[in-house]
Amino acid sequence: MPHPTRRIFVAGAALLAAVPGAAWAAADPENTIYLDTKNGRITIRLRPDLAPKHVAQIKALVRRGFYDGLTFHRVIDGFMAQTGDPNGNGTGGSDLPDLPGEFSKTEKFKRGTVGMARARSPNSANSQFFITFDAAPNLDGAYTIWGEVVSGMDVVDKIKKGDPGRNGTVDAPDKIVRMRVAADAK
């Protein structure tokens, strides 16, 4: 028989996992990100249980204002919208060190999953990330999942799509207006 404390923890975790959007932010503001675009707000639940190093780096960059004004430079309809590059073309990152892969064996890429972009090396993630428009089983176990959209997928769907013939490169791309950790939001 499981220990009573373990049962309470599992029940509490299941309850929090089922809480949507604004209620989630109120329940765990330190592990919630608000990503604002011209079309509205995307609320992201952080997953330190899956990727503690990635979550810590994302929060550090958000708290610096690193993502404010960056573009969604690569957006492939039906697949994902990528951002987080200060160069705006997929070649840049932050001044923080690259991260080792934190690949989940249990969580899968589905609609609204937030994952870390990287180069060929599994230990090259830095600041770029993407939000999936749909399930992407080809990414499972090969890219780090660090969050999930809990509200605002309608806003994600409105991000300007790129040219499929140019690997999703976007001319005059949409931008992140502002990103904040909910605990810091005014």
Does the pLDDT of residue 84 top 70, yes or no? yes
CATH number at residue 144: 2.40.100.10
pLDDT in tens, 61-73: 999 999 999 999 9
Closest CA to 149 of 138, 159, 163: 159
Tell me, what amino acid is at 19? V
Closest CA to 62 of 180, 163, 186: 180
CA distances from 48 to 23, 31, 175 (A): 19, 8, 26
Q: Provide the domain limits for residue 109.
A: 4-184
Percent residues over pLDDT 70 in the chain: 86
Q: Which range is least confidently modeled, 6-20, 92-106, 121-135?
A: 6-20
Q: What is the pLDDT of residue 7?
A: 43
> Which residue stretches of the chain are H helix?
4-17, 21-27, 52-64, 153-157
CA distances from 180 to 44, 91, 121, 186 (A): 10, 24, 29, 9
Q: In whole angstroms, what is the distance from residue 184 CA to residue 138 CA?
A: 35
Q: Which range is least confidently modeled, 8-12, 88-92, 182-186?
A: 8-12
pLDDT in tens, 14-36: 444 444 555 545 689 999 999 99
Q: Average of pLDDT values for 148-158?
A: 98
Does the pLDDT of residue 158 top 90, yes or no? yes
Q: In whole angstroms, what is the distance from residue 37 CA to residue 49 CA?
A: 27
How many domains does the structure of the chain reveal?
Answer: 1
pLDDT in tens, 50-60: 999 999 999 99
